Every structure is written in structure tokens, then in C-alpha cells.
Amino acid sequence: MFKHDHSSLVHSSRRASRRFHRRPTLPALASAQPPGCLPAASGRAQHAHVRRFDTRKPEATALELLAAELRIGDLERALSEAREAAHTDALTGALNRHGFAEAYQRETARSRRNNSPLALALIDLDDFKRLNDTLGHQVGDEALVHLVRVMRSALRPSDILCRFGGEEFVVLLPETALSQAINAIARFQRQLAAQAIPGQEIVLTFSAGVVVQQSGESLEQSILRADVATYAAKRAGKNCVVTG
């Protein structure tokens, strides 16, 4: 009796243990998950993704993009104006020395690459000091602006004009032989003599020295030769062209 009762207790305990360790069914797992979780193959809960939407209106976004584009455009224009101001003479609008140096490097490289002549003319207004002393610096400034205006109307798009200092100007003539450069500068003289300064009964003249850059010659050496030729033009009676 005692053995029989003990065996029943053992069997009953084993059945209870099996029931206790038996894995819960899938519905039971699902019901056991906390809210917002889904059952995973590994037995871990995966959190559901929550989508977030842009609450801004499309009209507001378009306006912001337009405002940004306008600001970028303003900055680009400001940079372009600053660059132009750094490269041009404030009075006449011709290139200054810095701008001319860049243009010269570009044209020299092209001349060497194409094996083409590069002419340079140094122009000096005649009697400019007397004009300033008798009529004042304002008229002198008007004379410089008038000279640049007339020359720009006569220059080719490829020609480069620079205010070198005071009443001195340099003209760079790409792909131009010496004889062609002389004819071009003489034509400029005739056109300038045919037009008085606006509002003034004053006609300007200039003396010029013209050179063609030699192989291996620097810009300073070319300008020095042109300067010597310009002084020779002054001594020859002004309003003429001399080659260097």
C-alpha cells in the first residue's frame, strides 16, 4: 500500500512537471506580447515603426526655396561686381594693372600656342598736364573717359585696353603684326581727333610707341621698348606713332 501510493505520487509529479514545462501555443505568445510589439521568429518582440510626416505646407517650402535662390543670386552678383572692381580702373572702366596682368598671361599663352604675333602699344595723351592746369582735374577726368570711350568703339573684341597710370594706356593686340598694329593705332588717332570731348570744344591727341613681343621677352621688357618709342614720338612732334 505504501509503495503503491508513493509510485502514484511520483507519476503525478512527473505529469505536472511536463505540463509546467510545456511551451505555450502561438496564440498564447501573441496574447503575452506587450502592446505595440509583434512576435518574431527568434522569440524577441520587434517594435512597430511609427511614420512621421512633414507638417509644413507645400506653399511654405516653395517660398523658402525661392528665397534661398534669390539670396544665392545676390551673392553671385556681389562676387562678380567685387571681382570686376578689383580688375578695372574706377574712373574709365578700362582694365587696371592687375586685370591687365591676367589678360596678358592668357594672351601670351595663346600667342605661343598658336605661334602668332602679339603687338603692344603704349599710348600717352599729349599735353595732359596743361589741360589739367588750365581747365581743372574734372575736365582732365572727362578727357580720360572720352579717350577710353573712343578707343573702345574702335578696338576689336579681342583687343585689350588698360589704364597703365595717369594719362598712359596700354593696348594689347593679339594676332597682330607690327605693320597692322601701326595702322590700327594711327586709325585710333584719327578717330579721336574727329571727336571733341562732350560739352567741351577740346580735341585730344596722343603719342604712341608700338612693339611686337619678341621670343622670351617679358611684359616689362616689351613695355620698356614701347615707352622708349613713345618718348621718341613726343620728340618728333606728338600725335604720331613710333615703333620700338
Q: Is the dihedral of CA 76, 78, 82, 84 positive or negative?
A: positive
Nearest alpha-carbon partner for 148 in 81, 79, 110, 197: 197
- CA-to-CA distance for 89 and 189, rounded, in angstroms? 22
Based on C-alpha coordinates, what's the Rg of the chain?
44
**Dihedral over alpha carbons 116, 224, 89, 140 (to 10 degrees):** -130
**Dihedral over alpha carbons 136, 142, 144, 147 (to 10 degrees):** -140
Strand, coil or helix: what is 219? helix
Q: Which of 102, 167, 168, 220 is catalytic?
A: 167
To the query of whether residue 167 is one of the catalytic residues in this protein, the response is yes
Catalytic residue ranges: 167
